[in-house]
Amino acid sequence: MKNLNKSCFICGATDCDGIILNGEKICKACEEKIVNTNIINPDYDIYKDRIKIILFNQHV
């Protein structure tokens, strides 16, 4: 497993700590953004869609 060297699926950052979700990496910064993003924040949909792609392989 060399997933730790993957770039962040959301922001593309490399060389950062993060979690692996269904084989895709989410860096710490993005993870926190997702957790702290409110539904009324326009970014919420972006993150939500990204997570959906990761979890359900809904590539468009």
List interacting residues with Zn ion (CB under 5 A).
8, 10-11, 13, 27, 30
Report the residue number, 32 or 57, with the smaller CB distance to Zn ion.
32
Nearer to Zn ion, 33 or 59 (CB): 33
The answer to whether 38 touches 51, Cβ cutoff 8 Å, is no
Residue (15 or 58) nearer to Zn ion, CB: 15
C-alpha 10/C-alpha 26 separation (Å) is 7
- Give the H/E segment covering residue 24: strand 24-27
CB of 52 to Zn ion, least distance (A): 16
